[in-house]
Structure 1
Amino acid sequence: MKRTILFGLILFSCFFSLAQEKLTNQSILDLMDLGFGSEVIKAKINSSKTYFDTSMDQLKALKEEGVSSDILALMINKSSVAVECGVFYTKNDKLVKIEPSVFSGTKTSALGAAMTYGIASAKVKSYINNATSVNKVDSINLTFIFQFDIKNKNDLGSGNWWFKTASSPNEFALTQLKQKRDSRELVTGKVSGITASTQMGIDSKKTIKFAIEDLGNGRYKVTPSQILGPGEYCFFYQGTIPMGGFNNQSIFDFSIEQSTTYKRKLPVRSGNELR
């Protein structure tokens, strides 16, 4: 009986202390440590002043501590910190944003179509300068974070219009780029030699499947369904492009270099061996 009363006084003291100050990220972890469930914690958030840090790094840390997606979503809604939209990857336990790269131009493989008297389709290839991406990622435990803007869907004035019109990573395709000496290229369409019709987009046979986990509030965790070998890759938006001068001449590209895990191990020679 005494233990029950003591425990109740401790809980009351904690609640009274929290009521006198703003809730922080640590406050949520403290409530979880006391054994409170999601509904109680959400009620406390809704009835309190808050000062949450909902940056990408902090959200990742909270998720690892076991904070549920619905609590994270409510924290973001109550937070005064703006959520940055885009595609991110993990590097040294930190989330790094992938800035989109712009295609330098397009070209059509008209030679093949000409040799078949227009029967074969001509491929439309978009190319981007530089043989490798500036975004270097590790193929081990490779995951990406997609953050969409669910509050400003009609505001397309910024460069992040992909994340204001799209609502899921399903509207993006993951594919490998063909690496050239000083550029990378991607087949982004084809022109029919018979009907002269144009079909834009990436062939589904050339895409790489990925798993999607909804983390709440427009945030998704994307994990490739297979280990990606060394090479150049990108996420390409295939959803509906908004009217008003917008185009889809950008990709979210990244490079996977030869990992030490896959490098061939050379035999170690002793000092007595002949060289």
Structure 2
Amino acid sequence: MSAFPQQSAMAWQAAAVAAPDILTNDKILRLVAAGLPDQTIIAKIRASKSAFDLSTDQLIALKNKGVSGAVLATMLEPAPAAAALAAEMSIDSGDTNVPHYPGVYMYGAESQTMTRILASASDQAKTGGIIGYALTAGIASASIKAAIPGKSAKVRTRRTRPAFYFFFDESVPRALQGNGASIWMSGAGSITSSPGELSLVRFDEKAAAREARVGSMNIAGAKTGVMDKDRIAFETEEVRPGVFKVTPSTDLAPGEYGFIQTLSGGNGGRTGAMSARVFDFGIVPAF
């Protein structure tokens, strides 16, 4: 079995590497030395956290090293008030340049608006194939399944290949970042920053809930992550920093689906204890 990720620690490390950096005087000098135009550097300043030294001596030093007056003025601008920025954030605008609350949105082509898919947490796990696991003393694998609450998703569409937009923390104005809470926080304390850290799957539909295979266990231990054969491929396009358009690579049949991210594994190998973040949606028949 090949799992994605094979170990949840790999996803945590990837998120940590890709986390937004903090701009300093030295980094501004590096951007200038790289030949980036002023408008690009200014956009970077306004979209990033910063820890500038703006003392008189440092401003003179930056000017002497080629930093333009426009860039220096932007560095001196106070961060916008968080309350004002929050009022400008949207949960349904179809314009990806409009700040959105972090999360996953389904785009409606007809309405040209977005519908926010609220994340649900699955902290209940069950095992499948346990009889074979027991009869072979753990040589045969047993699957670990996450239970997704509810019989069906609230967000539904008739489109067989819907478009989704992922808004990560990097897309949020810096005045609203850094409060210690994030919908994209992983189990290791790092921040998810790419759709590639989630898997698109079709759920097994039960009488009162839905299930997704999120790992396996055998005598060698437990693995977390969606199996390759259960993953549905999708195309990813970075629209702007922190914003990605995601489209399934093939048409989806009517049913229950979701983007799922395993957040933690078992306790060392023998149990199915885990948790997962799920953004669920449904495909309904056209007629």
- TM-score class normalised by the smaller sequence: 0.5 to 0.7
Whether 1:95 and 2:114 are equivalent positions in the alignment is: yes
Cα shift at 1:240:
8.3
- Which of these residues, 249, 254, 276, is aligned with residue 230 of structure 1? 254
Whole-angstrom distance in 2 between the partners of 1:232 and 1:118? 31
Whole-angstrom distance in 2 between the partners of 1:235 and 1:187? 13
* Contact kept in structure 1, 2:213 and 2:226, CA below 8 Å: yes
* Contact kept in structure 1, 2:263 and 2:277, CA below 8 Å: no
Three-state SS of the structure 1 residue aligned to 2:107 is strand
- State how 1:68-107 maps to structure 2 within 5 Å: 72=97, 83-91=100-108, 92-103=111-122, 105-107=124-126
The one-letter code of the counterpart of 1:129 is P
**Greater RCO between the two (CA within 8 Å, min separation 6)?**
2
* Contact kept in structure 1, 2:92 and 2:116, CA below 8 Å: no
2:229 corresponding residue in structure 1: 205
Cα shift at 1:161:
2.2
Three-state SS of the structure 2 residue aligned to 1:88 is strand
**1:185/1:57 Cα in 2 relative to 1: closer, same or farther (>3 Å)?**
closer
- Which of these residues, 168, 185, 188, is aligned with residue 194 of structure 2? 168
**1:212/1:181 Cα in 2 relative to 1: closer, same or farther (>3 Å)?**
same
Three-state SS of the structure 2 residue aligned to 1:165 is coil
**1:114/1:148 Cα in 2 relative to 1: closer, same or farther (>3 Å)?**
same
Whole-angstrom distance in 2 between the partners of 1:43 and 1:200? 41
Whether 1:132 and 2:159 are equivalent positions in the alignment is: no
Deviations 1:134-154 (A, max 9, x none): 111232451000001124776
The one-letter code of the counterpart of 1:143 is A
Cα shift at 1:119:
1.9
* Contact kept in structure 2, 1:104 and 1:129, CA below 8 Å: no
Q: Give the greater-gyration-radius structure (CA).
A: 1
**1:156/1:201 Cα in 2 relative to 1: closer, same or farther (>3 Å)?**
farther
**1:40/1:104 Cα in 2 relative to 1: closer, same or farther (>3 Å)?**
closer
Cα shift at 1:158:
4.0
* Contact kept in structure 2, 1:230 and 1:257, CA below 8 Å: yes
**TM-score, scaled relative to structure 2:** 0.58
Whole-angstrom distance in 2 between the partners of 1:44 and 1:154? 21
The one-letter code of the counterpart of 1:203 is M
- State how 1:162-201 maps to structure 2 within 5 Å: 165-192=191-218, 194-195=219-220, 197-201=221-225
**TM-score, scaled relative to structure 1:** 0.60
Cα shift at 1:227:
0.4
1:221 corresponding residue in structure 2: 245
Cα shift at 1:180:
0.9
Report the aligned-residue RMSD. 3.6
**1:217/1:164 Cα in 2 relative to 1: closer, same or farther (>3 Å)?**
farther
**1:183/1:227 Cα in 2 relative to 1: closer, same or farther (>3 Å)?**
same
The one-letter code of the counterpart of 2:154 is V
- Structure 1: runs of 5+ lacking an equivalent: 1-38, 64-71, 77-81, 242-246, 261-275
Three-state SS of the structure 2 residue aligned to 1:131 is coil
Count of residues in correspondence between the two structures: 197
Cα shift at 1:41:
8.6
**1:107/1:146 Cα in 2 relative to 1: closer, same or farther (>3 Å)?**
same
The one-letter code of the counterpart of 1:250 is R
2:286 corresponding residue in structure 1: 259
* Contact kept in structure 1, 2:141 and 2:216, CA below 8 Å: yes
Three-state SS of the structure 1 residue aligned to 2:226 is coil
Cα shift at 1:238:
4.8
- Structure 2: runs of 5+ lacking an equivalent: 1-36, 47-69, 266-273
Cα shift at 1:103:
2.0
Cα shift at 1:120:
0.5
**1:114/1:57 Cα in 2 relative to 1: closer, same or farther (>3 Å)?**
closer
1:270 corresponding residue in structure 2: none
Three-state SS of the structure 2 residue aligned to 1:112 is helix
Three-state SS of the structure 2 residue aligned to 1:84 is coil
